[in-house]
Chain A
């Protein structure tokens, strides 16, 4: 099934190539478990493109940068492969006029979910995974101890298990057939609700425990497709000086408040911040909580309608209750 989709992807990329100056996709990494982004500038490299449940990177993170750098000569476009969640990041960039739609050729990949490597390692218990294969709903994992089988559902990333948009919401061409969503809006914020059920002291203790591990490596920020002011991030500027080099809790809390509040009403829940965190801090939860608030308060979900303005970048004189 995957090889069918892969050849379909190659075919559609070949067809689109005459209009493209660059195509951003995924390629095989150093083993079966890893993929890396690939930046194709030569049609001979299209065969490198892959599509499987390991294509974890949100390629929308490269979009704003390449849009700014591209010349747009001969009306050539930038091609980009997106999953459902990635397409929302792209729409969020469009909502803020950070990129122009007509400069992009979007290859949409309906996605059944991406495998969480940490879960796979934890479940397998193996020190080294030799190879791995996905057949329909099963993951077959080969290690020195033998072959283990897991249902695909069990090893998916947290964001995929609460996914409401498996199909890209914006695309020029679709690879494969559209899928039915796994959850509805009702269940999507279950993880946030679980924390909300704790007492205030328990919540503080929870976040103190989690954020105490933070190294302030800023990987979460760097992986975020919507953290678009990276070179001028106030977490690192001296003027204004929001953060010091102290490695104590207030600074760590402050950094995550900066990241989360700058994404309030903008975060598309692609989960990249959480995936790249070397300390396995559930940082995406903070943004999900904010999204729940903006949904309830301002009836807005980021990255759905390219025409809508994010709610905190605008106002409504007529609204009441706040």
Chain B
């Protein structure tokens, strides 16, 4: 995964998976791009119809398989395009966030937040903060153990 960048701070590329809702946060990220706000490049965005579509298992699987971080972002509560999708989502996501450390996976590698389509500035801030946080945590060891090594050998 090592890539050569000019900037020494970006020597090691991170894999951060971003699940963004179609109606708010995806638009917010687009706004940030259109406004040419400078953003870290570690985020790979997956567009979902709504945060209500987020199965907590998407996040669990990403982190188990070694993604360095997972960011989920949607419409602000009570502003959901489908009225209540993010109200279901926030309960599920919070439960997952609290459960991950019990299994030995750092809960700080996962963040969920709300960014509206007009909040390009806020999106820039969220992405920058989260990328910095993941960078300080370092690469995710995943759950690979001896049998995983044997399976791929």
Determine whether the beta carbon of B103 is less than 8 Å from that of A196. no
Determine whether the beta carbon of A265 is less than 8 Å from that of B103. no
Determine whether the beta carbon of B60 is less than 8 Å from that of A254. yes
Closest to B103 in A: A207
Q: Is the contact region of chain B dominated by helix, strand, or loop, or is it mixed?
A: helix
Q: Is the contact region of chain A dominated by helix, strand, or loop, or is it mixed?
A: helix
With beta carbons under 8 angstroms apart, the residue of A254, A258, A265, A317 that contacts B95 is A265
* Cα(A294)–Cα(B146), bound, Å: 33
Determine whether the beta carbon of A315 is less than 8 Å from that of B91. yes
Residues of A within 8 A of B56 (CB): 261
Determine whether the beta carbon of B102 is less than 8 Å from that of A192. yes
Closest to A192 in B: B102
Determine whether the beta carbon of B57 is less than 8 Å from that of A212. no
**Smallest beta-carbon distance B104→chain A, Å:** 3
B92 at the interface (CB under 8 A from A): yes
Determine whether the beta carbon of A246 is less than 8 Å from that of B104. no
Closest to A199 in B: B104
Closest to B98 in A: A293
With beta carbons under 8 angstroms apart, the residue of B92, B99, B148 that contacts A289 is B99
* Cα(A203)–Cα(B105), bound, Å: 8
Determine whether the beta carbon of B60 is less than 8 Å from that of A257. yes
Residues of A within 8 A of B61 (CB): 242, 254, 257
Determine whether the beta carbon of A206 is less than 8 Å from that of B104. yes
A29 at the interface (CB under 8 A from B): no
In chain A, positions 230-267 with a C-beta closer than 8 Å to chain B are 242, 246-250, 253-254, 257-258, 260-261, 264-265
**Smallest beta-carbon distance A289→chain B, Å:** 4
Given A203-B101, A250-B65, A258-B57; A297-B95 close (CB under 8 Å): yes
Given A250-B143, A289-B99; A261-B60 close (CB under 8 Å): yes
Interface 1/0 per residue, A197-209 and B, CB below 8 Å: 0001111111110
**Smallest beta-carbon distance B33→chain A, Å:** 29
Determine whether the beta carbon of B150 is less than 8 Å from that of A261. no
Given A247-B147, A250-B142; A311-B104 close (CB under 8 Å): no
Determine whether the beta carbon of B95 is less than 8 Å from that of A312. yes
In chain B, positions 127-153 with a C-beta closer than 8 Å to chain A are 141-148, 150-152
Interface 1/0 per residue, B23-46 and A, CB below 8 Å: 000000000000000000000000
* Cα(A286)–Cα(B90), bound, Å: 21
> Could you pull out 21 A-B pairs where Cβ atoms are within 8 angstroms?
A203-B104, A204-B143, A205-B104, A207-B104, A208-B145, A212-B146, A212-B147, A249-B145, A250-B64, A250-B148, A254-B57, A258-B57, A261-B57, A289-B102, A293-B98, A312-B92, A315-B84, A315-B87, A316-B87, A317-B84, A322-B94
Known A312-B88, A312-B91; 20 more pairs at CB < 8 Å = A192-B102, A200-B101, A201-B104, A203-B102, A204-B103, A207-B103, A248-B148, A248-B151, A248-B152, A249-B145, A250-B143, A253-B143, A261-B57, A261-B99, A264-B99, A286-B102, A289-B102, A293-B98, A315-B91, A322-B91
A positions within 8 Å CB-CB of B = 192, 195-196, 200-208, 212, 242, 246-250, 253-254, 257-258, 260-261, 264-265, 286, 289-290, 293-294, 297-298, 311-312, 314-317, 322
B positions within 8 Å CB-CB of A = 56-57, 60-61, 64-65, 77-78, 84, 87-88, 90-92, 94-96, 98-99, 101-106, 141-148, 150-152
